[in-house]
Structure 1
């Protein structure tokens, strides 16, 4: 529990390098609003830890033995969609990033991120937001934990694992806004909007913008 009486964010740390894993556990446990409830040295252990401990977030390395981070992400997204997945890795190539996000990761950080960035991202991911490391995309994938004054996303839980930001963007797409207009309305970069749309298309099974609009209309998003 935090000093204010709020429950701490419960985290599982998964990394095959013992020094990094143990360092992350110590570093995060020093924060008053985060509790590390478990750690894993490979992908199978990560799945077991999540199943047994039901954390809010897993901080996951990308390349691990037994199962790599991308496959772990796919399985966790399918079996434990309530657990936010934050990838922390040395790999920042486009293929790794896109494969991981398509698999269902909510955030992607590189290992030069500092404690404050990691903690902020864990909380953002637990709140349903997506964050992409500035080194990877040069911008955030989603808003921080601050709630917009006039949100356009519906208040209900979005279907098919859409995050609040993704539902918000899909709502604007269904209203006919272009990527540029969405970026200006939400104070995001054009690339960030495109990245969100790619994830929206994947999650909703939409081949293009028209199909996404039809999906939004079926689910009353807009």
Structure 2
């Protein structure tokens, strides 16, 4: 069972999200928050697997709340759920450690896909957001390929293989199957890669993997 906390200051939005999540028997909503500070407190109290966080929240904005949650409980995945797709929001969300970024205008099925993906240790970007991120890769918005390759030079061959899997959007289970290792081994490698490279989350790792040419793009 995937345990989810909803954080949005609009009761009707929370009700709609809860209704969508309720169609999946593998998901349970354990708490709801109407403000950013409340979201942080309830997350620590309930320890959900996933937090769905709105950007514009009272008493602590959603991005600051996401950063606080990731700092105190890095094992909890945060998905930013918002009506805004401006580049500044996307960048700030990734910097805050969000494992996903989803637009409220998205197909409801995307919400379920996102929750399952991040709960399984993966990452999820709304297709519209993914296009923006890819455009930044292609446009050189992130570190260039030479710098990216230099950055991953310290990784072992196995760690690079794991990072390549992350870059392809694979969950830990799929990477483990591809490399014929235990899922726990992949989780340990991912944690080590993030720590050694100074990355906040899998999305940032995926970006670096693309820049370094590990995914074949």
Q: Secondary structure at the match of 1:117?
A: helix
TM-aligned CA deviation for residue 19 of structure 1: 0.6
Matched residue, 1:5: none
Do the aligned residues in 2 keep the contact of 1:130 with 1:142 (CA within 8 Å)? no
Where relative contact order (Cα < 8 A, 6+ residues apart) is larger, the structure is 2
Q: 5+ unaligned residues in a row in structure 1: which ranges?
A: 1-7, 190-222
RMSD: 2.9
**Is 2:119 the partner of 1:126?**
yes
1:27-176 to 2 correspondences below 5 Å:
27-138=20-131, 143-145=169-171, 147-148=174-175, 149-151=177-179, 155=186, 157=188, 158-159=191-192, 160=195
Separation in 2, partners of 1:114, 1:168:
24
Matched residue, 2:149: none
Q: Secondary structure at the match of 1:81?
A: coil
Q: Output the TM-score relative to the length of structure 2.
A: 0.69
In proportion to residue count, which structure has more helix? 2
For these two proteins, the number of residue pairs brought into alignment is: 172
TM-aligned CA deviation for residue 115 of structure 1: 2.3
Separation in 1, partners of 2:66, 2:50:
12
Separation in 2, partners of 1:116, 1:67:
29
C-alpha spacing 1:164/1:112, structure 2 compared with 1 (3 Å): closer
